[in-house]
Structures are given as structure tokens and as C-alpha cells.
Amino acid sequence: MGIRRLLTSLRALVAMPDRLSRDLRHLKSDLGSTIAEANQRTAETSERTARKHQVDISALRSELAALRAEVGDRLLQNQLQLGRLATLVNSGEEVLPLGRRVPTAVARVRAPQGVSTASDLAAGTSNEWLELSACPACGTAERTVVCEWNKLVLLETAPDEHAMRYDYAICHGCGILYATRRPFGRRYGYLLEHFEDVIDKNGKNPLLNPHPLTDKDRDRYRQLIARGVFVSDHEDGDYLSGVFKDRFANAGHVDILGSLLTPRGARVLEVRPRAGTILEGLRRHYGADVYAMPIWESQQFILRELYGIQTSELIDFDDFAIPFDEPFDLIVCNHMFNHAVRLDRFLAEVRGALKPGGHLYLYNEIDDGEFLQSGQSMIATMNPLHLQACDRPSLVRAVASSGFEPVFVKGRDRRNFCLMRRVDAPDWTPVPQADLGKRIDLYRRARDRAVLRAPEGLRARFADVWPVTVERAVASGVARFDDEGQLRIVKQYE
């Protein structure tokens, strides 16, 4: 037993190096695995740490960029606000931000020579445009362009992209606003035919129906006319309610004309009446001999059927002519100064159709105080059929330059009306320079306010002028930045 144990021990001792070697290999393998796992965990931890650091750095960079942008915006806003203060201090010139200086008035633009152009077809009508070289009223060439667009820039119903640009200017002579670029011929006719679309007012008023009448329309109108004008609210049934409204609204004009003139038996023409209520009033009270020139077939039909008034064919706003041979004592015009395509020819034609000493009565003409001295948008007011606008002094100067003198001039509900007498020769004085500068400044502010008030979905149409408009609007006091950096329109400003 002792020898056997000894042999066993000897064999174990002899085998020990192999076992030790094997155990060492296992130990090395285990140690290698442990080290590899540790290295992998370290690498993963390092990668996570690096990624976290990268995210932190990116976030920090974004925050720094946002901070820079905010600081830049605030600096710009402060510069704009300082520009506004500089304007109030320095009455001679307006200081704009970013070191730029411009005169107080908008840069004057000399008009190109008057030409008519016709090019490709657009929206079913020819692309005909007049480029005016001078004021269509007084003939003065000097002017200041104050607004590029008409109302079509705010609508989706423009015939094409060219139709929304009229480049409205202030005349340095009489002071009216007029479109230096305007449609004529078939293009203007297209606007009239699509009246409801281009002014963005859809309705079923028979007095404002621009479409040709069908036999069904005529039968319907006859049924409405048969009810008469004075249908009480306690009565049932349809009637031409617009005629009563027109008669009520125009009663004041009949009173003015009857009080200031002697219309007994006078020969009277109204250009662009709605329902002929002024003519009917003058005929009923003074026995006037009355005639009418309507713009639409619906008005022509109502004038003839309701009041039996003799009418001409429909008005041609471009090639305006009065077709009646004998001269008139009084010519009444509804909203024609604003609409005449060739204003000089229109005024000359009216003057030529009056007896010596005869009278012209203009009413329902836009007073530009509607958008110069209120919150109304200038661009929204000047629809593509509005080619001129005025205040009362500029209206009188413009008409006087064509051979008339004022008799009675008033305004009501943002509309002007004036009674003018035909004279042998024009006698008028151009707008004073101080009034001209103020007028240009008011128009510039109105233009900027209208651009900034454009619906957000249409801002892209003003992208080219937006930054400059913001700068000028803040510098002039039309707009300001609030405490949160939001641009706000200033409702009242000096």
C-alpha cells in the first residue's frame, strides 16, 4: 500500500507540469476573455461618452446660433427703432438702419413715353397696356410712384401675373393718384365682364349684374319691376330692393342739384347710373329732359322698363364718347373719375357735350382718406378697375385743369362729390410743395402698411420688397417690434 501510494504520488508529480501548463493555458484564456470583455465595455463606455459629448456640442452650437440670430434680430430691431427716433429728430431726412440714408420722399420716377402694347393672349383677352408719360388729368409729367400693386395681388382671380401691377403714382401737378400702367381695350373689357371676380364681391344684385341678359332674366326683372319701388317690409314678395336703396341714397344729390341749379326743363345726362334714381328725381320735381349711359345690360333694361328713361348703348370706358347730338345743361357722373381709362379724353368729351356755362356733377368718387387716414388697406381699396383716386383738393385741381371751375365741393362716407361749371379756359394752381411732400409721405406709409397687412399665405408675393418695407415701416412709425420681437402695425402715429 505504501509503495502503491508512493507510485501514485510520483505519477502525479510527473504529470504536474502538464497539468500546470494546461491550467496556465486555461487561466490565460480566461484572463484574455476577461480583458477583452473589459476592453469592450470600456470602448462602449467611451463611445457613449463621445456620442453624448457630440450631442451636447451640437446642442450648444444650435443654442449659440439661435442666440446669435436673436441678438442680431434685436440689434436690427433696435437700429430700426433708433431710425424712427432719428426721423423724429431730423426733419430734413430719414435715417434708416444699417448705415443707409435716403431722402424723406420716395424717389421720383420719370414716366416713360406713352405707348400702347399688345402681346400674347391672357385669360381670354389680349394683353393690352397703356404706359402713361404724364398725368391723365392735368398733363404734368413729374410724379412719384407710391404703390406697385392693385387688389389683384391679394386675390386668386387675376387674369395673369401682369394684371396686378399698376405702379400708382402721385402727380406733382394736380396731386391725384393715378395708375401709370393700365389696361385698355379688350383687357379692360375683360375686367368689366368679370367684375364680381376682380373686385372679390359675388352677389345677385340686378343693378350690378355684368352678364348679358337672357330671356329668362328679362322675364324675372319684369316681375320684380312690376312690384314698384316702394314695397313695405310688411308686404310679402320679391321686388327690386336695390332701387329703393339707390333712390334713398341719391335723394341728397337730387336736393343739392335742385338747390344750387335751376334744373326746370333742363337737359340732363347721367353717365353710369345704377337705376336712374337721380334722373327720375330731377324729371319728377323739375320736369328735366333726362338721358342715361349705363355700363351693363341689366342697368339698361331697368332704366328703360322701370322709369322709361332713354339710354345709349353700353359705355366704352376706353374709347368714351357721348352719342347724343344736342348739348346738355347738366351731366351727372357716378364714379367715373376713378374708372376712366383715358381720363383726359373723358373730361374733354364731357366738356364738349355741355352747353357754355353748363355743369358737371361728379359723385361717389373715392376719397383716398379711406386708406390714408384709417386702417383700410390701400391695395385692397384700389381694385383693378380703379385707375385714379383723389382727395377733394386734388379732384378739383384735376377737373379744373380741363376747363371747369368749382361751384360746390363736399365729401361724405369716404366719397367725394363736386359740382363744377364749364368755363372758357382752364384756371388752376398746382398742389403746393409742402402739401405734395406730405401727400407722398402718407401714400408711402399706406403702401407699407398694406404690404405688412397682407395675409400670411400671400407673403411670398412680396418677398422681394419685404425686408426693405419692414425697415422703412419701423423707421417711419408705421410698425414697431413688441417686447417679444413680433412686428406690430401701429394703429395711430404722427
Cell of 427: 384756371
Q: Tell which wins on pLDDT, 417 or 123.
A: 417
Cell of 223: 316681375
Q: At 209, is the secondary structure helix, strand, or coil?
A: coil
Dist. CA 277–CA 274, nearest whole Å? 8
Radius of gyration from C-alpha coordinates of the chain? 39
Q: Are 490 and 478 in contact (CB under 8 A)?
A: yes
Dist. CA 272–CA 270, nearest whole Å? 6
Residue 121 in this model has a pLDDT that exceeds 50:
no
DSSP H helical ranges for 362-401: 369-372, 378-381, 392-400
272-302, pLDDT tens digit by residue?
Answer: 999 999 999 999 999 999 999 999 999 999 9
Q: At 429, is the secondary structure helix, strand, or coil?
A: coil
Which residues have CB under 8 Å from 95's CB, separation 6+? 83, 86, 87, 101, 475
422-450, pLDDT tens digit by residue?
Answer: 999 999 999 999 999 999 999 999 999 99
Q: Tell which wins on pLDDT, 456 or 357.
A: 357
pLDDT of residue 25: 72
Q: What percent of the chain is predicted at pLDDT more than 90?
A: 57
CB atoms within 10 A of CB 447: 26
User: Could you tell me the sign of the dihedral formed by the alpha carbons of 90, 92, 97, 99, in that order?
Assistant: negative
Topology annotation, domain 226-432: Rossmann fold (3.40.50)
Dist. CA 94–CA 84, nearest whole Å? 8
Which residues have CB under 8 Å from 377's CB, separation 6+? 154, 371, 449, 450, 453
pLDDT of residue 436: 97
| Amino acid identity for residue 286 in this structure | Y
pLDDT of residue 14: 60
85-100, pLDDT tens digit by residue?
Answer: 444 444 433 333 322 3
CATH 3.40.50.150, the chain: domain bounds: 226-432
Dist. CA 278–CA 271, nearest whole Å? 11
pLDDT of residue 179: 98
Most distant CA pair in the chain: distance in Å? 165
Dist. CA 246–CA 207, nearest whole Å? 10
Q: Which of these ranges, 66-80, 225-239, 453-467, has the smallest mean pLDDT? A: 66-80
| Amino acid identity for residue 293 in this structure | M
Q: To the nearest whole number, what is the mean pLDDT of the chain?
A: 83
pLDDT, mean of residues 23-52: 71
Dist. CA 381–CA 199, nearest whole Å? 9
Residue 79 in this model has a pLDDT that exceeds 70:
no
326-377, pLDDT tens digit by residue?
Answer: 999 999 999 999 999 999 999 999 999 999 999 999 999 999 999 998 878 9
Burial, 21: exposed, middle or buried (Cβ in 10 Å; 0-12, 13-18, 19+)?
A: exposed
Dist. CA 490–CA 469, nearest whole Å? 14
Helix (H) or strand (E) segment spanning residue 130: strand 125-131
132-174, pLDDT tens digit by residue?
Answer: 999 999 999 999 999 999 999 999 878 888 899 999 999 999 9
Q: Sorting pLDDT into bands at 50, 70 and 90, what band is 202?
A: low
